């Protein structure tokens, strides 16, 4: 176990100690940190002794004094030094089991790690937690966590997760609450499985767990063409998505009348599928699960509308790449701009029913742009389709490759409505 440093911040304590990328932190005051949570607690002391292993294999002890709140100022290869905790479940809708064969290894890692839940908002099932994990959550007060509930009916949840441990959701949430931990929850909703009366039950039971339960997100199941599981999964269509909206809106209206907050939120795709207007921003409260696709479209629209950018010359031709479901939203924002063309990209890689922009591949984008042809000066692509912190699509096509193919047009990744507006009305700059 060791923390591999990948970057040292300028003017930081780490730079002062002459630490460099490639160094590993093996121990802090005689203790081997399991992860950056451990490391931050160990480094909270004023007198520190680090055991460092350099890239050449040599080791060095560095002793120093520091202010109690002074940070090290180093970035690490991974947040967990002892390896990501793997999920042992076989959920009927696990997306990892639906990716294409021979994709890069990191895409096939099924994590169920409470540390990644605390640090980055990854959802966990709680089924893979050990008593030691629960003690550590309590010791460090790792709150809030993000919990995949899916169903509060124990038997149904065990069936969905395909593990008997899935039935223990009540007692596991009880244990988190006894430790003073708050948590956000989610349901991946499958037609004729955990919807209808089962969804009513899940909502009611999570509501009773307030204030420890902070929110409940309901997102529709997604199925790719690479799924081989024989368990029958049904996806939502326009009519069934509208029924879910109507069912949940009854609860939302009551909660807002009683508490002033919505608490239960639907994934954007329900509204896009049903071709219904998205709720206003205040309906999403403080957007507690925006990274889970809850209110992301509303936030994009409002950012776009609020941005005040002078109009650009109309002779700059802009292609806007999008997933098929979001293309309608973009068309409504673009309006009558004659120089802007929306290019919806059918997802041939995962299957055309996977229509979110974040799962577009470089190959599908290239094919879609070539099929429409014509002159273009600027190509706007969704930044969410690129690997976080990198410039590679899910199929390992790089952003540089895309730029070379469509040169001299500028290819610009866009994140958020404000950036989109600036790129449109600022001439692509």
Please give the CATH architecture assigned to the domain spanning 3-76: Roll (2.30)
Burial of 3 (0-12, 13-18, 19+ CB in 10 A): buried
CA distance 138 to 120: 18
**Number of residues that make up the chain:** 429
CATH of the structural domain 95-294, one choice from 2.60.40, 1.10.10, 1.10.3470, 3.80.30: 3.80.30
Distant-in-sequence, close-in-space partners of 78: CB < 8 Å, separation ≥ 6? 4, 84
Per-residue pLDDT of the chain (429 residues; tens, 9 = 90+): 678 999 999 999 999 999 999 999 999 999 999 999 999 989 988 899 999 999 999 999 999 888 888 889 999 998 999 888 888 888 888 877 777 766 666 666 778 889 999 999 999 999 999 999 999 999 999 999 999 999 999 999 999 999 999 999 999 999 999 999 999 999 999 999 999 999 999 999 999 999 999 999 999 998 888 778 888 889 999 999 999 999 999 999 999 999 999 999 999 999 999 999 999 999 999 999 998 889 999 999 999 998 876 555 567 888 999 998 899 999 998 888 888 899 999 988 888 788 888 888 899 999 999 998 888 889 999 998 887 667 888 888 899 999 999 989 889 998 889 888 888 876 544
Model pLDDT, residue 427: 52
The tokens for 396 are 């390992």
The H-or-E segment that residue 16 falls in is helix 13-16
The H-or-E segment that residue 48 falls in is strand 47-53
Model pLDDT, residue 314: 61
In this structure, the strands spanning 47-53 and 24-28 are: antiparallel
CA distance 394 to 360: 8
CATH of the structural domain 306-425, one choice from 3.30.460, 1.20.120, 3.40.50, 3.30.70: 3.40.50
CA distance 93 to 110: 13
SS3 412: strand
For the chain, domain boundaries:
3-76, 95-294, 306-425
Q: Which residues pair with 52 in a beta bridge?
A: 25, 60
Residues 76 and 43 sit within 8 Å (Cβ to Cβ): no
Whether the predicted model's global pTM rises above the 0.85 cut = yes
The tokens for 141 are 């007060």
Q: Which residues pair with 323 in a beta bridge?
A: 345
Indicate the DSSP class of residue 128. T
* Closest CA relative to residue 323, chosen from 356, 292, 300, 348: 356
φ, ψ for residue 6, nearest 5 deg: -110, -20
SS3 228: coil
Task: Please spell the DSSP secondary structure of 178-223, one letter per residue.
Answer: HTT--EEEEEEE-TTTTSTHHHHHHHHHHHTTTTTEEEEEEEE---
φ, ψ for residue 63, nearest 5 deg: -110, 140
Measured between alpha carbons, how far is residue 319 from residues 136, 310, 406 in Å?
50, 19, 11
């Amino acid at each position: 176990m060791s923390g591999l440093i990948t970057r040292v911040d300028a003017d930081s304590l780490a730079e002062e100690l002459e630490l460099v990328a490639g160094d590993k932190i093996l121990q802090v005051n005689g203790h081997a940190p399991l992860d950056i949570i451990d490391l931050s607690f160990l480094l909270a002391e004023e007198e520190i002794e680090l055991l460092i292993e350099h890239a050449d294999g040599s080791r060095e002890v560095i002793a120093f004094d520091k202010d109690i709140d002074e940070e090290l100022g180093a970035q690490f290869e991974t947040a967990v030094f002892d390896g990501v905790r793997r999920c042992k479940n076989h959920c009927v809708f696990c997306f990892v089991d639906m990716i294409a064969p021979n994709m890069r290894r990191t895409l096939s890692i099924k994590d169920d790690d409470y540390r990644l839940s605390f640090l980055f908002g990854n959802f966990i099932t709680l089924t893979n937690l050990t008593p030691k994990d629960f003690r550590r959550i309590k010791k460090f007060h790792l709150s809030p966590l993000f919990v995949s509930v899916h169903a509060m009916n124990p038997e149904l949840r065990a069936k969905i997760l395909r593990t008997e441990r899935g039935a223990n959701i009540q007692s596991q949430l009880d244990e988190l609450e006894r430790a003073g931990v708050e948590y956000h929850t989610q349901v991946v909703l499958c037609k004729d499985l955990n919807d209808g009366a089962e969804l009513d039950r899940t909502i009611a039971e999570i509501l009773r767990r307030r204030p420890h339960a902070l929110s409940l997100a309901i997102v529709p199941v997604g199925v790719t063409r690479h799924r081989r599981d024989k368990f029958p999964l049904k996806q939502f269509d326009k009519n069934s998505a509208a029924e879910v909206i109507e069912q949940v809106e009854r609860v939302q209206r009551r909660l807002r009348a009683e508490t002033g907050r919505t608490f239960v939120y639907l994934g954007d795709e329900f509204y896009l599928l049903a071709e219904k207007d998205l709720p206003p921003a205040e309906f999403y409260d403080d957007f507690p699960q925006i990274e889970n696709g809850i209110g992301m479209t509303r936030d994009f629209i409002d950012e776009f509308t609020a941005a005040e950018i002078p109009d650009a010359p109309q002779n700059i031709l802009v292609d806007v790449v999008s997933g098929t479901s979001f293309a309608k939203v973009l068309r409504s924002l673009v309006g009558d701009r004659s120089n802007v063309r929306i290019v919806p990209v059918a997802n041939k890689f995962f299957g055309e029913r996977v229509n979110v922009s974040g799962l577009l591949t470089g190959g599908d984008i290239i094919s879609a742009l070539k099929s429409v042809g014509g002159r273009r000066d600027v190509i706007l692509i969704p930044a969410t389709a690129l690997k976080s912190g990198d410039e590679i699509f899910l199929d390992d096509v790089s952003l540089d490759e895309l730029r070379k193919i469509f040169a001299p047009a500028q290819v610009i990744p866009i994140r958020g409505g404000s950036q989109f507006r600036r790129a449109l009305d600022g001439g692509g700059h």
